Structure 1
Amino acid sequence: MNRFFAHLILMRPANIITAIADILLGFAASGSVQLILQDSAEASKHPQLRVLGWLIAATIGLYGGGVVFNDVFDADLDRVERPERPIPSGAASRLSATLLGTLLLAGGVVAAFQVSATSGLIAALVALLALVYDAIGKKQPILGPLNMGACRGGNLLLGLSAIPAAVPAYWYLALLPVVYIAAITAISRGEVHGGDKRILLGSLGLYSLVIGSVLVLMRLPQINALYILPFLAFFCYLIFPPLVRAITSLKPLDIRLAVKAGIMALILLDATLAAGFAGWWYGLIVLALFPVSVLLARVFAVT
């Protein structure tokens, strides 16, 4: 493993694609897509597209930096449980990983400030939450999953901040990734030593709560429910079978597969709501990130 590839592994590229999907959902919910379509000027030169570019750059930095620091803080544990990871294997040093993570987080915050002070402050909060999770939160059985969920909820708020006034109007959308990622984080506790059926059943309940919340959101006047349903059905198909298998077997491999499916299916959750806010065609654009993430997951570890 060469050093460049080792540092790419630390960034978990397949997961970063899911973070971009969060931004695209927030961008749609903010009304930016409708603003671009309604403008009589050439759409490809609309200023909101520049905003979208900065927000995507910001989430790449924030997510990439957060997961790099995850390996930095876990280096000693990985020497025992996952010696093939870049730092314990010697392919990347703890110092180089720390520098990479710092540059990514700082770059993400700087990119967000190019949009607005609101975006910059949200990005700074996400960076702080990511570091708290990496250093402390992951060791907490209840607060840890909520901490990780808050990182993804903040990422959705970052997308909403494409139009700052949309943040206080639609802040509640961020609760969905908080609950969903909390469920995945709880499941992941059994990746090495096997799962706990009570925790897995609790995560099944959280998944169901997310589905129920989407069904409630379909009643909002600004959402087209008919566009949501096909995406929602695909989302359910992706997340429930792997989790049921994990609950049945409690084996580490099945746990990892359930976590992997849950992480990548976040794109489907984003596409579901994005289709409701901006149209089925926009939902398909978000959904197009899914095969990209799947292909990257064949090369780079997701969990």
Structure 2
Amino acid sequence: MTTLGAYLRLMRPANIVTAVADILMGYAASGALLSFTNQGSSALFSNDSQPLLWLILATIGLYGGGVVFNDVFDADLDRVERPERPIPSGKASLGGATALGLLLLIGGILAALPVSLLSALIALGVALCALLYNWKGKHHPVLGPINMGTCRGGNLLLGISAVPAAVEELWFLALIPIVYISAITMVSRGEVHGGNTAALKGAVLLYVLVIGSILSLSLFLNFNVLYSLPFLALFAYFIFPPLFKAMPTKEPKLVMKAVKAGVVALIVMDASIAAGFAGWIYGLLVLALLPVSMYIARKFAVT
């Protein structure tokens, strides 16, 4: 691994692609894409799409910086449990990683500012939540997963903030990624020493709750659940089999595969919601990020 490759690995590039999917989904939910079905994909590349481009840059900075600080705060622990990671292996320095993390977080906040002050404040909140999680949150058995989920929920709100007034109306959509990421975080704690049966079973229940919540959106919003169903089926196919396979043995490798599947499946979840708001073509556009993330995941670690 080269020095550049080590710093890229710290940023978890495959995961960053899933964060972009959050923005695309939130952008659709905000109503900013009402003209999409009439204008086709060209609507995404008009002058009106500039807020979307700024928000994508913002989430790249926020997510990248957040996960870099994960390794910064875990440097001592990784020297014992995961010596192959960039910092303990010596491929990346602790000071260099800290500087990179700060640069990414600050850049993410500044990138949101051209959209609106609200977008920048949401970005600041996401950055602070990420730092809190890496510093203290991850060590708490209950608040830790919620803290991590809040980072993702904030990222969804960042996408919705393309239309600032929509945040007040659609804030509850952030609860879906909060629940989902909380489930993944619960599972991920068994990556090193093996999974916990209660945590794995709890994740199954939370996954079911997420799918049920997405299906129920049609009861409250202008959401076409029929467009969403094929994507939800694919979502279930991604998340449940690896989790069920990890349950009997609780082996770290199987748990890691379940976590990896859960992270990558975020794109499918986002596509299922985006399709309900903006049509199946837009859902496929979001889903197109999936092979990109999966390809990058072969080169760089997801967890």
Common fold by TM > 0.5: yes
* Partner residue in 2 for 1:211: 211
Deviations 1:137-166 (A, max 9, x none): 000000000000000000000000000001
Deviates further, 205-214 or 147-156? 205-214
Counterpart CA distance in 1 for 2:160 and 2:290 is 21
Corresponding residue number in structure 1 for 2:194: 194
1:220 CA drift (Å): 3.6
Query: Take 2:187 and 2:218, find their aligned partners in 1: how far apart are those partners?
Result: 28
- Offset at residue 46 of structure 1 (A): 3.1
After superposition, the Cα gap between the structure-2 partners of 1:92 and 1:227, relative to the gap in structure 1 and judged at 3 Å, is: same
Q: Secondary structure at the match of 2:101?
A: helix
AA aligned opposite 2:54: W
RMSD over aligned Cα, in angstroms?
A: 1.4
Aligned: 1:279 with 2:279: yes
CA distance, structure 1, for counterparts of residue 221 and residue 116 of structure 2? 28
Q: Could you tell me how far 1:22 is from its partner in structure 2? A: 0.2
Kept in 2: contact 1:58–1:111 (CA 8 A): yes
Deviation, 1:36, is: 5.5
Structure 1: gaps of 5 or more residues: none
Aligned counterparts, 1:108-123, within 5 A: 108-123=108-123
Percent identity between matched residues is 62
Partner of 1:82: 82
Measured against aligned partners, the alpha-carbon deviations of 1:188-244 in whole angstroms (never above 9, x if no partner) come to 000000011011111111111111111111334511111011000000010000000
**Superposition deviation, residue 35 in structure 1:** 4.2
Matched, 1:60 2:47: no
Distance in 2 between the 1:102 and 1:3 partners?
Answer: 18
Q: Structure 2 counterpart of 1:240, which letter?
A: F
Q: Are 1:109 and 1:124, in contact at CA under 8 Å, matched by a contact in 2? A: yes
Output the CA distance in 1 between the equivalents of 2:210 and 2:134.
Answer: 25
1:87-123 residue CA offsets vs partner (Å, 9 max, x unmatched): 0000000000000000000000000011100000000
Query: Equivalents in 1 of 2:30, 2:264: separation in Å?
Result: 23
1:172 aligned residue: 172
Is the 1:36–1:46 contact (alpha carbons within 8 Å) kept by the matching residues of 2? no
After superposition, residues 1-303 of structure 1 pair within 5 angstroms as 1-35=1-35, 43=43, 46-303=46-303
CA positional deviation for 1:187: 0.3
Distance 1:193 1:57 in 2: 36
TM-score, normalized by length of structure 1? 0.97
Which SS does the other structure have where 2:83 is aligned? coil
TM-score (norm 2): 0.97
